């Protein structure tokens, strides 16, 4: 059975943050179209569905009276006789806030062009006329966000909270655990970097040197160290706390890098242990990669245990 289509119609007062809300939806995996006339919305949704898109965001311009008159029928058509989930996000703000936002950008209110030019038509006139026209749509919206006291980041967070990972059928943050060797440099995309060079190094055990953390003997050597078990316990606590909060913040992906000297033994064994435990605790997909495991082990004298 195919995934049901979710359509979020983003509308509201000019200057209230429609574009920023659409950007947040894009980061959640929605395919978004901005400034779409209402008459084209049902066809746009059908085209998206034909292309395999099941999460769609529509920024609809209903400032013009002709568009506003047809919005109710348009929403019914978008719903596809109940085959799609349609939600309307209405963005609002106080007249004073909208006035200041237009002044800061030095742009005229969009209704100016529709009301016979700029002469004698002030920004506040446009805001009040638009508010009057949009009152019926605001009353029927499924979500209303007042952005009067919100900055861009706070608006994004609210959109994530309402349409993000906690809602069934929407994408989760992509989380990846990567093992690596510090001698080859830390991963440039690491969000969290953990150093496990404090553990005894299997490299200095001759029968383990040529093996990797995927081999049972190496994994046993690493994981049976008391500090290894304590490290896993504390990192699991940290990640179980942090990952859901990164998701709610709207982060699209998270890379947790675990490093040892060469990236073949300790970091590999620990990454292999942490990934399935995280999947179990968070009920979320956790990708696993070993960046340097297949690099050839260099020959060096066993001058120390943890170098």
Mean per-residue pLDDT over the chain, rounded? 84
What pLDDT sits at residue 302?
Answer: 47
pTM over 0.75: no
- Give the tokens for residue 288: 């696993």
**Domain definitions of the chain by residue range:** 5-163, 174-290
63 vs 213, higher pLDDT: 213
Closest CA to 37 of 15, 56, 58: 58
Using the predicted structure, report yes or no on whether residue 305 has a pLDDT greater than 70. Answer: no
Sequence-ordered strand ranges (E) for the chain? 5-12, 31-36, 55-60, 84-92, 143-146, 174-181, 192-195, 253-260, 286-290
Out of 3.30.1360.120, 3.40.50.200, 3.40.50.880, 3.40.50.300, select the CATH number for domain 5-163: 3.40.50.300
Lowest average pLDDT, out of 62-76, 102-116, 130-144, 291-305, goes to: 291-305
CA-based nearest residue to 207, from 295, 297, 267: 297
Question: Phi/psi at 265 (nearest 5 deg)?
Answer: -115, -80
Q: Tell me, what DSSP letter sits at residue 226?
A: H
Q: Which residues are paired to 84 by β-bridges?
A: 5
Average pLDDT of span 31-52: 88
Q: Would the pLDDT of 275 be above 70?
A: yes
């Amino acid at each position: 059975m195919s995934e049901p289509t979710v359509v979020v119609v983003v509308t509201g007062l000019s200057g209230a943050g429609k574009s920023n809300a659409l950007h947040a939806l894009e980061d959640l995996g929605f395919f978004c179209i901005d400034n779409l006339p209402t008459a084209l919305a049902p066809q746009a949704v059908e085209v998206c569905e034909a292309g395999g898109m099941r999460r769609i965001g529509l920024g609809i311009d209903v400032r013009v009276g002709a568009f506003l008159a047809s919005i109710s029928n348009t929403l019914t058509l978008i719903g596809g006789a109940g085959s799609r989930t349609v939600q309307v996000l209405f963005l609002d703000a106080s007249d004073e806030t909208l006035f200041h936002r237009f002044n800061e950008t030095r742009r005229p209110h969009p209704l100016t062009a529709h009301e016979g030019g700029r002469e004698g038509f002030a920004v506040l006139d446009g805001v009040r006329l638009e508010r009057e026209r949009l009152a019926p749509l605001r009353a029927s919206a499924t979500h209303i966000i007042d952005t009067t006291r919100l900055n861009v980041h706070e608006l994004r967070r609210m959109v994530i909270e309402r349409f993000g990972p906690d809602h069934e059928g929407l994408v989760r943050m992509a989380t990846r655990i990567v093992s690596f060797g510090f001698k080859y440099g830390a991963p440039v995309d690491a969000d969290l970097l953990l150093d496990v060079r404090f553990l005894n190094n299997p490299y200095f055990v001759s029968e383990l040197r040529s093996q990797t953390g995927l081999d049972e003997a190496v994994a046993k050597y690493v994981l049976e160290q008391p500090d290894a078990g304590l490290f896993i316990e504390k990192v699991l606590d940290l990640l179980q706390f942090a990952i859901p909060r990164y998701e709610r913040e709207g982060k699209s992906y998270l890379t947790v890098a675990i490093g040892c000297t060469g990236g073949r033994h300790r970091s590999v064994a620990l990454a292999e242990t942490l990934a399935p435990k995280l999947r179990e605790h968070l009920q979320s997909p956790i990708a696993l990669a070993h960046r340097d495991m297949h690099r050839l082990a260099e020959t060096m004298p066993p001058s120390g245990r943890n170098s």
